[in-house]
Amino acid sequence: MKDLYSGLIRIHVLYHACEEGIFGLGIIRELRKHGYRIGPGTIYPLLHGMEKRGLLRSSFAWIDGRRRKVYYGTRTGKSALEEAKRKVRELTNEIFADE
Ligand SMILES: [Zn+2]
């Protein structure tokens, strides 16, 4: 079941990284609000993987007195997000067509 949502989670992460930048614990909390229970053991490898693929870049920043690694969407990440948004819209239109 987890596999079914992994793409949605990635798109969600990419969206927030492109909007305002994210750090591990912050995005864990954000995803929890949306009903996804994801721990550090999943989110950190996911962020590293997305950075390695050029979708995200990171830099250190102080947030609430703690040094955090903050991830932002790259230009590649932003165009991947635009493409993903088109796909999400298309899927949404289809699966809600008869409702
Ligand atoms: Zn969100």
**Distance between CA 72 and CA 51 in Å, rounded?**
9
> Does an H or E element contain 68, and which?
strand 66-73
Residue-wise pLDDT for 18-31, tens only, equals 999 999 999 999 99
Q: Which residues contact 80 (CB under 8 A, 6 or more apart)?
A: 14, 55
Asked if the model's pLDDT at residue 1 lies above 60, the reply is no
Asked if the model's pLDDT at residue 53 lies above 90, the reply is yes
Distance 55 CA to ligand 1 centre (A): 18
Distance 90 CA to ligand 1 centre (A): 20
Distance 52 CA to ligand 1 centre (A): 22
